[in-house]
Structure 1
Amino acid sequence: MRRGVRRRMRRLHAGLHRLPLNFDPSRLDEGGPDWHVDDYRQPLPPEPPGPPVPGGSWETARDLVRDYEYADPAIIREICRSGPPEPGRDMLLEGRFHGLHFYLGLRVGDVVDDVIETDGRRAQVWGWNYQTLKGHLERGQMDQEVRKWLDTGEVEFHIHAVSQPAPDPNPIVRLGFRLFGRRTQLRFYDRACRRMKHLTASTPTSPPPEADVPQPARRKRTA
């Protein structure tokens, strides 16, 4: 069964390059009715101050972010793409939503791999974002990155998303997503943070994990 799904996803993925984005990225910061802005920061096992430790928490988290391995398999069942994130590269997800399955087309926007400075502090950052294509249940952009603060060795996973439900011609799908889509979306963010913490906790430089719960740094709905 899954083999048939993968074959279909490969066929659909091959045609994604013909699809436009279903929103205007240049107007993403303007907000408007039904737009949600979500910001989650999950502390990960720390490292010693200085550059990332080979095989340590930051490198492990970077690889998980690069490969989209932090996504909960109960929500995202399959991923189809032609390689690691690169600007303009397409990817296709098979999402699970209340027993139904949907194919979700995305396009990589930006990739960052650099040392940045914020408020006088320097951090090693690796991350990328994707934008929704025509036919997606949502429209908007999600950024995902991992940072290591070089002065303290703190490592964190960061999700920032701006989104709203996309118009769907199917009234049943539209109603279902209006009723349950936001709940599924927030569950995805929460489980992504928990999964990242769990998967990075066993790295050699990591202390035993604490039972903390990820909290949104900011979650608001603009009007």
Structure 2
Amino acid sequence: MAQRPVMELVSTVRHDGDGGVLDDLDTVRGTTRWLQQQSGLPATVAGSPVIDEELRRAVVDVRRAVRALFARVVSPAPPSPADAHRLLPVEEALRLLNAAAAREPVAPQLHWPAGEDPTSGLLSAEDDPGVRLVAALARDAVDFLSGPQREHLRACHAPRCVRYFVKSHGRQEWCKPSCGNRARVARHYERARATGSPRIRPSGPPSTGR
């Protein structure tokens, strides 16, 4: 199931399964591929923006701002180790995010077909689909960070993982079961090392990056 746009954006920074970090937005081609995979963008992002270097950097700037603010949310717990050493200052992150959200002038619209419940949407006055894309990602981040889901945001600290995730139940510690398995194996190794017990290698294939 697709995550909301802000979580899909943040998850473009991910582990490679071998202790390294991958960036799905590090090239124009990668950014284009990622955008083509997104099905949860708001209706205002109609059309297909042409991804060039300028637009790629604008999307990455929104991501940098969001990841800095996610680090603030999970504090005093540690942030994702992927970029903990180079996070934007909070005030700069706020400025970047709010400026991106303000790039698209929108107006709320009420839709109420006969026999159905009313729904709301946004009417955009912006012609450039690239601007609409950046603004929509920023608005979703603003909505998330100011809403109740923020309280359930966590950084996954399983070995090699660098993801942020939203807890779906009270006892969830890891972003997915495979991360929980790695964490339990790592704990077993640490206990064995501390007590001098023989180390038992886990069976099964190594995990992948996704």
Larger Cα-atom Rg: 2
TM range (shorter): under 0.3
Greater helix content: 2
Task: Provide TM-score, normalisation by structure 2.
Answer: 0.27
Task: Provide TM-score, normalisation by structure 1.
Answer: 0.26
Greater strand content: 1
Instruction: Return the structure number with greater relative CO, CA threshold 8 A, min gap 6.
Output: 1
